[in-house]
Amino acid sequence: MSGNDSPRPLPPPGWYRSGDALRWWDGLRWTDRTEPLRKDVASTGDERSGKSKTLPVAIVVGLVAFVLGIGLGAGSSTDPDVAASKPSATPPPTSAATTPPATTSPQTTALTARLKAKTAQVSAQERRLAQRAASLKTLEAKLAKKAASLRARVTEVRSREQAVASAEATRGDDAGDVGIDPLFGTCGEANDNGYGSYEAGVDPEYSHYDDRDNDGVVCEY
């Protein structure tokens, strides 16, 4: 190859015939990827790329790539045999993908909101019931105090009523004893014992004695 000749371009990536099989050319070097040669391709000389390739052409292409690699100072060998013997570079391991956060459906969100609202309503009702129970306890205490006071007053009134009835009965007995003087056979005997002067219609003793002068007074002193 003269200095005035321009380097031939490398063939594009594709499957090329290599002996009785197809081998993958990545555009720079041969790879370890091979596939058996189909009968239709072997009979017609067609590869998957649609272009007819032969083994000598592939070798020439490899040598051209090798020469170009040396001329350009490439760090890696472009010899097809050497490139084919080297394993293809594997991509660097990627970090494990983080698990995306769990998402909730709109239905679940709506149900959760309704549940929270119901819980708040129940809590409010429980608080109101607790307040009513406390108010009822206070009212019961007041009513019990008033009932005790009423019972004490009823007992006092009944005691007073009994005392008044007893006093009235005793007073009636005393009035019966004191209101009528001892009765004697004559006004003289009554006067001798310190009793007398009974008026008609006033003193009950009047009817017991004889009003001889009919003046309405008996047993005068």
Question: What's the pLDDT score for residue 76?
Answer: 42
Question: What's the pLDDT score for residue 118?
Answer: 95
* Average pLDDT for 171-183: 66
Question: What's the pLDDT score for residue 167?
Answer: 73
Yes or no: say if 25 and 11 are a contact pair by the CB < 8 Å rule: yes
* HEC profile of 57-79: HHHHHHHHHHHHHHHCCCCCCCC
Question: What's the pLDDT score for residue 80?
Answer: 45
* Average pLDDT for 187-211: 92
Q: What angle do CA 55, 58, 62 make, to 5 degrees?
A: 140
Quick one: what percent of the chain has pLDDT higher than 90?
Answer: 44
Question: What is the Cβ-side half-sphere exposure of residue 186, based on CA atoms within 13 angstroms?
Answer: 4
Question: What's the pLDDT score for residue 186?
Answer: 93
Question: What's the pLDDT score for residue 61?
Answer: 57
Question: What's the pLDDT score for residue 86?
Answer: 42
pLDDT band, very low/low/confident/very high, at 131 (cuts 50, 70, 90): very high
The full length of the chain comes to: 221
Each residue's pLDDT tens digit, 85-120: 444 444 444 444 445 556 678 899 999 999 999 999
* 38: its two tokens: 């189909």
CA distances for 32 relative to 20, 47, 77, 145, angstroms? 15, 17, 16, 105
Distance of CA 207 to the CA centre of its chain: 100
Burial of 160 (0-12, 13-18, 19+ CB in 10 A): exposed
- Identify residue 67 by its one-letter amino acid code: V
Question: What's the pLDDT score for residue 91?
Answer: 41
Question: What's the pLDDT score for residue 62?
Answer: 62
What is the residue extent of each domain of the chain? 14-85, 180-218
pLDDT band, very low/low/confident/very high, at 24 (cuts 50, 70, 90): very high
Burial of 41 (0-12, 13-18, 19+ CB in 10 A): middle
Element (H, E) at 21: strand 21-25
Long-range contacts of 191-200 (CB under 8 A, 24+ apart): 191/219, 191/221, 195/219, 196/220, 196/221, 197/221
Question: What's the pLDDT score for residue 173?
Answer: 57
Q: List the single range of 16-25, 56-65, 66-75 with lowest mean pLDDT.
A: 66-75
C-alpha to C-alpha distance for 125 and 148, rounded to whole angstroms: 34
- Identify residue 183 by its one-letter amino acid code: L
CA nearest 84: which of 54, 68, 50, 61?
A: 61
Q: pLDDT averaged over the chain?
A: 75
Question: What's the pLDDT score for residue 64?
Answer: 56
For the cut 90, the answer to whether the pLDDT of residue 19 exceeds it is no
